[in-house]
Amino acid sequence: MKMWCLQILLFILFMTDAAEIIDVFGYEGKEANVSCSYDEGYESYEKFLCRNDCGIDDDVLITTRQTHKNRYSIRDDTKKRVFTATISNLTQNDAGKYWCGVDISRKLDEYPAEVKVEVEKDICCDNSSKVQSYEGGSVSISCSYESQDQNNTKYICRGNQPSSCLQQALITSNNTQNTQFSLTDDKESRKFTVTITSLTQKDSGSYLCGVKRNTGLDVFSAVDLEVREWCCVKSNKLSGTVGRPLTMQCPYPPQHGTNRKFLCKGDHHRNCTDMVTSQNSSGQTDVRFTLLDDVSSSSFSVTITELKAGDAGTYWCGSDSQWTFGNYTKIQLSLGKRTTQLQCS
């Protein structure tokens, strides 16, 4: 690597001859592999990776005489006649021009290829689409892609880091179904859809839709999912007084006119206890509760004749045993003590 004039001549020869440029992409903080093939007969020669124009010895980053040097490592697969130099802990400063070199004698180097390294930020994306759903429900996330990616692997992952997305994919188009996720690919409209079922609030957050590219970096788009608390037509707060009566109003969808209506008590609708229902009073233990259904106004009311301290808490008015989202009124009842009023004459 010493005869600079000859080197320059070789560059020119090479560049006019076979101006192959290898594009290598890597993410900031991660690694990039620069793979260079060479011709038969060069197996035993020393290989190296150098930077810029390789004009000075400092430009030589690593050679096959060593396996590791600083952030560089190199290995030579003489069977496949490919040597690979790895640059780790990439920064933007690593972007630029490199050469794969073969040291064919102490005086003369050959450069099988020019390499262009590009370093991308390991974060995606500036904008994202927003999707909302509810606890216990499901959601479909739709991801568009370009027509050239029709037959490529599609996937989705949590977070916003492209470098680890495929490795940590929740589901891919190679394996389209698991307990919570499923993936369908509509090649005609060039979008794939990921459905997430049994949502909990833990599923809220950022997701990346990924499309595998055979050359260069995969393509990503970002989605923000918000899983909202399961609730109701509306949420009411009521306050009552111990010893006094109280009436709760419960509207319901008109098409539920003939359904069984009920008032259920408990922190959560999944495990609340019916206090009173419209169709069956034989199971009712507390006679203080009466339910009056007014089908013409799509509403029922529940009256508690004499409030007790234990009546405070959360109630759910319902008209749908499937608990379809949005058809309930949630009532939070708080109780105050009866205030003694002075009788003035």
Ligand X SMILES: *[C@@H]1O[C@H](CO)[C@@H](O)[C@H](O)[C@H]1NC(C)=O
Residue 178 near ligand X by CB under 6 A:
no
Length of the chain, in residues: 345
Q: Give, in order, the Cα–Cα distances in Å from 27 to each of 74, 92, 162, 169, 299.
A: 19, 9, 8, 18, 59
Residue 283 near ligand X by CB under 6 A:
yes
Q: Candidates 44-52, 100-108, 236-244, 321-329: pick the segment binding ligand X (CB under 6 A).
A: 321-329
Closer residue to ligand X, CB minimum distance, 14 or 64: 64
Token reading at 70: 């600083």
Residue 280 near ligand X by CB under 6 A:
yes
Residue 31 near ligand X by CB under 6 A:
yes
Closer residue to ligand X, CB minimum distance, 7 or 152: 152
Q: Kindly determine how many residues on this chain lie close enough to bind ligand X according to the rule CB under 6 A.
A: 30
Distance of alpha carbon 36 from alpha carbon 150, whole angstroms? 29
Shortest distance, position 277 Cβ to ligand X, whole Å: 8
Residue 273 near ligand X by CB under 6 A:
no
Closer residue to ligand X, CB minimum distance, 322 or 343: 322
Pick the closest to residue 219 from 295, 289, 162, 301 (CA basis): 162
Task: Give me the sheet containing 128-134, strands edge to edge.
Answer: 128-134, 219-228, 205-211, 154-158, 171-172
Q: Candidates 57-65, 92-100, 178-186, 278-286: pick the segment binding ligand X (CB under 6 A).
A: 278-286
Q: Which residue type occupies 142?
A: S
Residue 93 near ligand X by CB under 6 A:
no
Residue 138 near ligand X by CB under 6 A:
no
Shortest distance, position 306 Cβ to ligand X, whole Å: 24
Q: Which of 79, 202, 237, 270 binds ligand X (CB under 6 A)?
A: 270
Q: Candidates 4-12, 42-50, 197-205, 277-285: pick the segment binding ligand X (CB under 6 A).
A: 277-285
Residues 6+ apart with CB under 8 A from 228: 132, 133, 134, 135
CA 240 from chain centre, in angstroms, equals 45
Say if residues 246 and 303 touch (Cβ distance below 8 Å): yes
Residue 278 near ligand X by CB under 6 A:
no
Closer residue to ligand X, CB minimum distance, 84 or 195: 84
Q: Which of 21, 33, 235, 292 binds ligand X (CB under 6 A)?
A: 33
Eight-class DSSP state of 307: -
Residue 132 near ligand X by CB under 6 A:
no
Residues 6+ apart with CB under 8 A from 296: none
Q: Between residue 185 and residue 224, which ones bind ligand X under the rule CB under 6 A?
A: 221
Closer residue to ligand X, CB minimum distance, 154 or 307: 154
Token reading at 77: 């697969």
Shortest distance, position 334 Cβ to ligand X, whole Å: 20
Residues 6+ apart with CB under 8 A from 113: 20, 21, 22, 36, 99, 100
Residue 164 near ligand X by CB under 6 A:
no
Residue 151 near ligand X by CB under 6 A:
yes
Burial label, 307 (beta-carbon count in 10 A; 0-12, 13-18, 19+): buried
Residue 327 near ligand X by CB under 6 A:
yes
Q: Which of 66, 174, 247, 305 binds ligand X (CB under 6 A)?
A: 174
Burial label, 66 (beta-carbon count in 10 A; 0-12, 13-18, 19+): exposed
Token reading at 46: 């020393």
Shortest distance, position 12 Cβ to ligand X, whole Å: 32
Q: Which residues bind ligand X (CB under 6 A)?
A: 31, 33, 71, 86, 88-89, 127-129, 148, 150-151, 153, 166, 172, 174, 221, 253, 255, 268, 270-271, 280, 282-283, 320, 324-327
